[in-house]
Amino acid sequence: MKEVKDIWQFFENMNEYVYATDIETHEIVYMNRKTLQAYGLQSLEDAKGKKCYEILQKTLIPCGMCNNDRLSVGEFEEWHYYNPIIDRYLMLKDTLIEDSSNGKKYRVELGVDISEKRTQDGVIQKYQNMEFMINEGLRVALQTATPEQSIEVILEYLGNSLNGERTYIFERNERGRDDNTYEWVAEGISREKENLQDIPPEICAHWYRMFQEGKFIVFKDLEEIRESDPLQYENLKRQNIHSLVVVPLYDDGKVIAFYGVDNPPPPSLEYASNMLQIMGHFLVSCIKRRNLMSLLENMSYKDQLTKLGNRFAMEKYINEIDAEKSIGVVYCDITGLKRVNDSMGHEAGDQLILRACDSLKKAFGEYGLFRIGGDELLALCAGIEHAALMERIGLLKECMKQNNVNMAVGEIWREKYQTGLDTLLQESEKRMYADKAAYYKRTGIDRRK
């Protein structure tokens, strides 16, 4: 291995960017001082053993432009590339070297910084590279399993490519306000997503007016909007935003969301809006696919009348319960449903069911709620303490009075969920029937009617 180490030593003080990787595993085995500094690394140990694409391109999968299969020992492949991570134009020379002691081969890349030479046509070159960056971003995003993951990958890729501090998507909620639904932040930047929920419509009113006119938002200095858009100015100033690019996302001519990048450097501002608008078409497709999957999941896992989980949802919930934690089971039966259906019609019966569900939601809303039969509802409370369960039972009975509905209730609690659900359901159902019998005896109502 001494010969290879001597080669690394030769590169150490060169003024070019040099790195080497294991050709089989993509793992970094060497970076010279200049390359380590460019990527903010303190020493080779910070990069050694990690995948080259993770460090050099900030991606999770191998680069689409990887030329490993074209390299051979003793020959160089030369090409030009704009690296958005370090914001430099590079002339690259790639080759293979072989360790004579063990036959291992290493990819060696030497990058010559030609940024100054390209200053005059820098903007043109960045536009040319934009097509490549967009295609590469889409390629990475299409490798993901779900639309949500695709969106997250695109935001990360755009943030890195544009050298921004934060990328994000805002969507209108049912109240007509804006929610920050997705967010990527660069290392060392504070997250804002939790603080940007249910934004009042007047904050982004000016932006939406511009979106309706087919325009986008871009400014190099926040002070530009201090007088013209004071509410948005205060909102952005609180987030330490001094420049941004924001573009609308349209579906069938209607604005369904907007997304953007915060604090990109001045060179990125020159082409960020084009890049965001082009990527926006893919994001709209992802959002629509996400919404369709959510609708299909709701249809598969939710009871259509009550919107409570069905038996499929219950099985999914059960599979995620920690057997070592406590469990509370509340088995409910809506009394008098048949009588209401027969005497007043099924619409009145549906309203009775909905009032019963509302009572259950108010008492056990943060736990698993399911409709397991026409008049049978179930609450599964993973991790609940016994005292808390009984307190919720009391709240349930109060809610039933307020909603003018009655349910027979059978509850059971175990310190550990180890016996399985069947045993707990049988016991809670038995107690529910006992409560039901007591109700009919107490009221004198004929349960057969």
Q: What is the pLDDT of residues 185-222, one digit of tens each?
A: 999 999 999 999 999 999 999 999 999 998 999 999 99
- 137 has a pLDDT exceeding 50: yes
What pLDDT shows up at residue 277?
87
Q: What is the mean pLDDT of residues 54-64?
A: 83
What pLDDT shows up at residue 124?
45
Q: How far apart are CA 262 and CA 239, in angstroms?
A: 10
Cα 166 to the center of its chain, rounded Å: 14
233-243 pLDDT per residue, tens? 999 999 999 99
What pLDDT shows up at residue 252?
85
Distances (CA, A) of 323 to 103, 316, 318, 370, 379: 52, 14, 10, 20, 17
Residues of the chain with CATH 3.30.70.270: 311-443
- 123 has a pLDDT exceeding 50: no
Q: What is the mean pLDDT of residues 279-299?
A: 85
Q: What is the mean pLDDT of residues 305-325?
A: 88
- 30 has a pLDDT exceeding 60: yes
- 3 has a pLDDT exceeding 70: no
Q: What is the mean pLDDT of the chain?
A: 88
pLDDT tier, 117 (very low <50, low <70, confident <90, very high otherwise): low
Q: What is the mean pLDDT of residues 130-154?
A: 76
Q: How far apart are CA 175 and CA 198, in angstroms?
A: 8
What pLDDT shows up at residue 118?
55
What pLDDT shows up at residue 141?
66
319-358 pLDDT per residue, tens? 888 888 899 999 999 998 988 988 899 999 999 999 999 9
Q: Can you read off the two tokens belonging to residue 288?
A: 């629509």
CATH number of this structure's domain 311-443: 3.30.70.270
What pLDDT shows up at residue 422?
86
Higher pLDDT, 122 or 253: 253
pLDDT tier, 120 (very low <50, low <70, confident <90, very high otherwise): very low
Q: How far apart are CA 282 and CA 354, in angstroms?
A: 40
Homologous superfamily (CATH) for 2-117: PAS domain (3.30.450.20)
Least confident of 16-25, 215-224, 263-272: 263-272
Residues of the chain with CATH 3.30.450.20: 2-117
Q: Are 263 and 243 in contact (CB under 8 A)?
A: yes
Q: What is the mean pLDDT of residues 23-45?
A: 94
What pLDDT shows up at residue 130?
54
Q: The domain at 124-299 falls in which architecture?
A: 2-Layer Sandwich (3.30)
- 2 has a pLDDT exceeding 50: no
Higher pLDDT, 34 or 135: 34
Cα 130 to the center of its chain, rounded Å: 25
For the chain, the C-alpha Rg in angstroms (whole number) is 31
pLDDT tier, 60 (very low <50, low <70, confident <90, very high otherwise): confident
Residues of the chain with CATH 3.30.450.40: 124-299
Q: How far apart are CA 316 and CA 382, in angstroms?
A: 13
pLDDT tier, 83 (very low <50, low <70, confident <90, very high otherwise): confident
Q: How far apart are CA 407 and CA 336, in angstroms?
A: 9
- Quick one: what percent of the chain has pLDDT higher than 70? 93
